[in-house]
Amino acid sequence: MELVDNLSIGFGVALTPANLGFALIGALVGTLIGVLPGIGPIATIAMLLPLTFRLEPVSGLIMLAGIFYGAQYGGSTTAILVNLPGETSSVVTCIDGHQMARQGKAGSALAIAALGSFFAGTVSTFIIAMFAPPLARVGQSFGAPEYFALMVLGLVAAVVLAHGSVLKAIAMIILGLLFGLVGTDGQTGGQRFTFDITALADGIDFAVLAIGLFGVGEVITNLTRGGEDRSIMTAPIKRLWPSREDFRLAWPAVLRGTGLGSILGVLPGGGATLSSFAAYVLEKKVARDPTRFGRGAVEGVAGPESANNAGAQTSFIPMLTLGIPGNAVMALMIGAMTIHGIQPGPQIMTERPNLFWGMVASMWIGNLMLLVINLPLIGIWVQLLKVPYRFLYLSILLFCAIGVYTVSNSPFAVLVAAFFGVLGYVFVRLDCEPAPMILGFVLGPLMEDNLRRAMRISGGDPMIFVNRPISLGLLIAAAILLLMVALPAIRRKREEAFQES
């Protein structure tokens, strides 16, 4: 009964004309940036952060959330029609989705992707509604030591699940922690790492760092790659509804992908990309004839597309209930909440129920909007792919500069964003994933506050983290993860899994 009451509150908020409009804008923008390769939801959300300053908190968060899960829908369109993933989580959809399109089944593949994503979004929305309240109640029993240990576990899990070198992921997290220390120390009033630059006394603004690292950095990276070969399909899509045989093969894959994505999305470092990769590997493992994969197997579209949408939405659970971002997009969402003076964590459900349940209800509404608007607009999305990138990226850079300037009305902020843009390009060249850095930047100040609070409680005795069962359990889990990834056999398996995906 409590669940029904909570959802009624949420739908009451989400169904207001203003919030319906922002959900639609988020869904459309998300689909657009999912269709256009090389931009991605992280860069788009970073660029749009300044626009949310003038909005109601719930309206801004509904729009940003719509961009995130809308990108999962849009990415499948280009993956199937053009063999070019518009979003990272759609990489594996290219393998069988484009083969189906070449066999004249483009409409079937697009419909399976859309229906599977909608089903997964519906299920994961109810999972959030059911499991978020008890998890928030657990979080309310956490003190400073438990929160510090939980954040350590989150950063360690992000290292384990990050692509590429473990050492590079650790280095990126440490760099993010250091950037988070820049500014005035809240305890002593002294300045740290400001190099006597007055503009850095308040620290590095989250929106400036995010726009520079992901917005400007992505533009520089994509411009250096040159033109891309796009085999855009010009043949009309005659049939959108899948055949009975396609349905028979797809629905078990949709169920498996939804379940797997819902679980992996909650894990720190998980989310849409990891879920879609894992779902494709799972479908190949359980298939009676694995040789069908890579030749147009409908399960290779249904499983990953369901998993990436489920993973995208359940990744909101730790962010909303514990204040712990599981991936870079959730870190941006926390940044948007703090901009509005909202402290993410278990108290948000009791102090701001309209915001929490309004966001949850808007996820289902947004998924319904995406199902309705995506298939009829396929022709428009394909035409957009013909726009030369030199025009697209120029407008993105201009939008980034305007957005950064409006954060603090300071030309220095634009220079800082440009610095992080160049840094983001260097990271890509060095094969360093920037997402762990943004997690370290967001969690660093929170970890420092909780560490200091724990030390004051214990009188400077670090054994407080060992004497309290929950913090001890979380630290042991973090240590086990580090030991596992350090073992040669497990490290090889991890690398093979990412390569296979």
Dist. CA 174–CA 440, nearest whole Å: 7
Residue 449 has pLDDT above 70, yes or no: yes
Place 38 in a pLDDT band, splitting at 50, 70 and 90: low
Q: What is the pLDDT of residues 456-495, one digit of tens each?
A: 888 888 888 888 888 888 889 888 877 776 665 555 554 5
pLDDT score of 151: 81
Dist. CA 88–CA 24, nearest whole Å: 23
Q: What is the pLDDT of residues 378-433, one digit of tens each?
A: 667 666 666 666 676 777 788 778 777 776 778 888 888 889 889 988 988 888 87
Place 498 in a pLDDT band, splitting at 50, 70 and 90: very low
Least trusted range by pLDDT, from 62-66, 148-152, 260-264, 373-377: 373-377
pLDDT score of 285: 81
Handedness of CA 100, 102, 104, 106 (dihedral sign): positive
Dist. CA 498–CA 389, nearest whole Å: 29
For residue 173, give the 3-state DSSP assignment.
Answer: helix
Mean pLDDT of 434-463: 84
Q: Could you give the residue ranges of the DSSP H alpha helices within 433-487?
A: 435-458, 464-467, 469-486
User: CA of 253: how far to CAs of 73, 112, 139, 387, in Å?
Assistant: 17, 11, 34, 35
pTM over cut 0.75: no
pLDDT score of 239: 63
- Other CB atoms within a 10 A radius of the CB of residue 455 amount to 16
Using the CB atoms, write b or e for 41-75: b if 16+ within 10 Å.
bbbbbbbbbbebeebbbbbbbbbbbbbbbbbbbbb
Dist. CA 447–CA 46, nearest whole Å: 23
Determine contact, residues 457/132, Cβ cutoff 8 Å. Answer: no
More confident of the two residues 374 and 60: 60
Place 160 in a pLDDT band, splitting at 50, 70 and 90: low
Least trusted range by pLDDT, from 78-82, 204-208, 209-213, 484-488: 484-488
Q: What is the pLDDT of residues 184-201, one digit of tens each?
A: 887 777 888 888 888 888
- Other CB atoms within a 10 A radius of the CB of residue 3 amount to 11
pLDDT score of 86: 60
* Beta-carbon contacts of residue 108 (< 8 Å; ≥ 6 apart): 100, 239, 240, 241, 242, 243, 246, 298
More confident of the two residues 25 and 1: 25
pLDDT score of 164: 65
- Does residue 195 come out as left (phi exceeding 0), alpha (psi in the -120 to 50 range) or beta? left
Handedness of CA 212, 215, 216, 221 (dihedral sign): positive
Best CA proximity match to 309, nearest among 470, 495, 99, 125? 125
Residue 128 φ then ψ, to 5°: -60, -45
Burial class, 297, CB count within 10 angstroms (exposed 0-12 / middle 13-18 / buried 19+): buried
Residue 242 has pLDDT above 50, yes or no: yes
The 3-state secondary structure of 231-260 reads CCCCCCCCCCCCCHHHHHHHHHHHHHHHHH
Place 501 in a pLDDT band, splitting at 50, 70 and 90: very low
More confident of the two residues 298 and 3: 298
Q: What is the pLDDT of residues 224-233, one digit of tens each?
A: 765 555 455 5
pLDDT score of 88: 64
Dist. CA 314–CA 272, nearest whole Å: 9
Residue 34 φ then ψ, to 5°: -70, -35
pLDDT score of 159: 74
- Other CB atoms within a 10 A radius of the CB of residue 292 amount to 16
Residue 126 has pLDDT above 70, yes or no: yes
Place 500 in a pLDDT band, splitting at 50, 70 and 90: very low
Residue 240 has pLDDT above 70, yes or no: no
* Beta-carbon contacts of residue 19 (< 8 Å; ≥ 6 apart): 13, 58, 59, 62, 358, 362
pLDDT score of 385: 61
For residue 337, give the 3-state DSSP assignment.
Answer: helix
pLDDT score of 497: 47
What amino acid occupies position 286? Answer: V
Most confident region among 66-80, 234-248, 470-484 by mean pLDDT: 470-484
pLDDT score of 266: 78
Rounded (10°) CA dihedral 384, 385, 386, 390: 100
More confident of the two residues 161 and 480: 480
Q: What is the pLDDT of residues 309-319, one digit of tens each?
A: 888 888 888 88
What average pLDDT is seen over the chain?
79
pLDDT score of 379: 65
pLDDT score of 161: 60
Determine contact, residues 340/57, Cβ cutoff 8 Å. Answer: yes
pLDDT score of 351: 79
pLDDT score of 344: 75
Q: What is the pLDDT of residues 302-345, one digit of tens each?
A: 888 888 888 888 888 888 777 777 677 787 788 788 777 787 77
